[in-house]
Structure 1
Amino acid sequence: MSLYDGELTGVYPEENEDHHAVQMAESDYEDDDSDQPTCKETEDTTAMDVKKGKDIQGISWETMNTTRDRHRQARLQQYANFENIPNSGRTAEKDCTPAKKGQLYYEFQHNTRSVKSTILHFQLRNLVWATTRHDVYLMSYYSVLHWSALTREKQEIIDLQGHVAPCEKHHGNFSEGFSRTQVSALAVKNNLLVTGGFHGEIICKFLDRQGISYCCKSTHDDNGITNSLEIYEKPSGSLHFLASNNDCGVRDFDMEKFQICNNFRFAWPVNVKSSASSLIVYF
């Protein structure tokens, strides 16, 4: 996301003035009205509800002075998409194959509004992960949650509002742990869940083990927000994850040895990376 030199690069002036709002105060979570009791019947939308005419997002358009189609058209005309490179979206469209209208690309099944994903800033990414057709992991305030599309139930995996510390002993493990960690990146794969914080905090939990396995600070730089995380397997089968921070560093963590095995330095903060076999691409 490039919080470079303490500033958000590429954001609009009005957003730049409020970039310190990303560092949320305690009241930002506590004052939200999402903790108020809700009725599941009104919050959830099923495929049968949609066939009967209910809005797919559960919005009561009949109580508003506009329709969904008119509102969507106005948004498409008025909304200014964020882009670092002017006209990059329109340029990319020229290389894309237009989708054929009228084709069935997916079929709606269920929409729930009883589980709320919270994202502190519009440039944050990878805070919702679907590991299977039915399993979703997400950030909701200070909690890492698992939601099952089969049971329609949620489970808290990690409570980050209090103190989180590792229960295993590994070389380099930050035994003191962290408190009230604000998460900027999340990754879940191969039974491993990794969170990255605004100040370089790394917290690792294996989903088939009790407690937290590993905690560390990937960087002590003042501009060390975790931009993205990616879990991958090396050709040898060993489990690793990559953490890119805004200090222009990308660290490769070996989760068998619980230590950093590579530290790559770049002239710019890496926002996105993708790995396949022994090839790693950075953006």
Structure 2
Amino acid sequence: MDDEPDLEVFSDDEELARDTTAVGLASGRDIQGIPWHLTQYTRESYRHSRNQQYNNYMNLEADVAAAKPAVAAAATKTRPAPMYGFYRSWRQVSTSIVHFQLRNLVWATSAHDVYHVRENKVQLWNSVAQRLTKVIDVSGGPGGGVAPGLGKIQLCTLCAKEGLVVGGGFSGEVVARRQGSQDEFSCSMRVTHSDNGITNAIEIYRPAAAQVRVVCSNNDDLVRAYDASTFQLVSQYRFPWAVNCTVAQPDGGRLLCTVGDHPTALLYDAASGRQVAELQGHADYSFAAAWHPDGNVLATGNQDMTTRLWDIRYPARSFALLQANISAIRSLRFSSDGAFLAAAEAADYVTLYDAASRYRRCQEIDLFGELAGVSFTPDGGRLFIAVSDTLYSSMLQFDRLQNQRRWRHSL
């Protein structure tokens, strides 16, 4: 809202009583606080109905249908395993989704600090203080923030790394703020004037022996890299299709992986743009990718309702094929130690996979609502999941189980 204060503090008992805690969940309360006893459904019956009726969006529906038998035959067989335990659903935190295919709208930068997008603003949630702080406001209008030279921006993607918070806009805008800075904007620019130039994704990484880079993936078929200290263009590479996500190889970012409006993912040298490999196997467009911290393993998520795992040293085929429940994989994140992969669907399901089992052990987190994003904390100790919903929007927190080492040794 335009009259929303810069700081919101939630402390009264009535507000906090809306949250579901681990104790409440164990006592039978719904994980999102949904009062099933007041509806015509049980949770189980609505889950079944939702699974049957949810309409997954695809661009290449015929290709996905043709590939379905082969995918079913090759899919990695998984077994359930506990990895993260539910802690709390923070109902004070709500998120907004501008573009239904873009869900990288949540980034945790500490054990308690989570950046997220809400109504043309980037906000910071601190779970210890139970406080929301407005970080970037591009809502425009009376009393609303205006990015210099840009005006109102529909924020559709976000990244928070390396001391920077960077948002991308629906008309090719990029706005940034340095964490802790008193300056409202460290950067305010339009990277493209194309009529179809949506900034689909932002990546921030630190190249070896170079300044931090901000990489913009846009719908105008270009990947652009900027020096994060000056926001001057360093490089740009053109693709034969709209670019939906680009991620940098850990420890120096020597390689980039780009996915977009094509089933093939491309690996290429970040400095020269020279193509290194094509990763072929998906049947539709991809909107998500993530590198394992070892720099050799890469995950790609697709509208064909699969996640594929690739060893880039052997790029001819994926070594694991993970099936989603009801919809496209819209967001992928590895924990910082590489132990876990979180795969978020467009709605309702986030699945955690254990890397040590070659992704054969998994934990399925079952919710209701469109998912704005997922993020591990930098130490991997927590996982935040943002549900964007009219009535039950919340930020759910899961904590890594203390018995992790014991059950992993039983593999």
- The normalised TM-score by structure 1 is 0.78
1:164 and 2:164 are equivalent in the alignment: no
Cα distance in structure 1, aligned partners of 2:145 and 2:91? 28
Greater helix share, 1 or 2? 1
Cα distance in structure 2, aligned partners of 1:186 and 1:177? 20
Greater strand share, 1 or 2? 2
1:228 and 2:204 are equivalent in the alignment: no
Cα distance in structure 2, aligned partners of 1:246 and 1:220? 11
How is 1:263-278 mapped onto 2 (pairs within 5 angstroms)?
A: 263-276=236-249, 277-278=253-254
Letter in 2 for 1:81: N
User: Which blocks of at least 5 consecutive residues in structure 1 are unaligned?
Assistant: 1-28, 31-36, 166-175
Name the residue aligned to 2:151.
Answer: 179
User: Which blocks of at least 5 consecutive residues in structure 2 are unaligned?
Assistant: 3-9, 260-411
Give the conservation status (yes or no) of the 8 Å contact 2:150–2:190. no
Cα distance in structure 2, aligned partners of 1:124 and 1:91? 28
1:114 and 2:89 are equivalent in the alignment: no
| Matched position secondary structure for 1:107 | strand
Letter in 2 for 1:100: R
How is 1:210-229 mapped onto 2 (pairs within 5 angstroms)?
A: 210-211=182-183, 212-229=185-202
Give the conservation status (yes or no) of the 8 Å contact 1:44–1:111. yes
1:200 and 2:172 are equivalent in the alignment: yes
Name the residue aligned to 2:83.
Answer: 105
1:177 CA drift (Å) = 3.0
| Matched position secondary structure for 1:70 | helix
Identical-pair percentage: 37
Name the residue aligned to 2:16.
Answer: 41
How is 1:37-186 mapped onto 2 (pairs within 5 angstroms)?
A: 39-85=14-60, 86-87=64-65, 92=71, 94-101=73-80, 103-161=81-139, 162-165=144-147, 176-186=148-158
Cα distance in structure 2, aligned partners of 1:134 and 1:196? 24
Farther off after superposition, 59-68 or 233-242: 233-242
1:48 CA drift (Å) = 1.0
Name the residue aligned to 2:358.
Answer: none
Cα distance in structure 2, aligned partners of 1:231 and 1:93? 35
| Matched position secondary structure for 2:236 | strand
**Which portions of structure 1, spanning 4 or more consecutive aligned residues, are displaced by more than 6 angstroms?**
none
Distance 1:98 1:43, change over 3 A: farther
Give the conservation status (yes or no) of the 8 Å contact 1:193–1:205. yes
Cα distance in structure 1, aligned partners of 2:104 and 2:129? 24
Distance 1:149 1:191, change over 3 A: same
Give the conservation status (yes or no) of the 8 Å contact 2:157–2:202. yes
Paired residues in the alignment total 239
Cα distance in structure 2, aligned partners of 1:94 and 1:194? 41
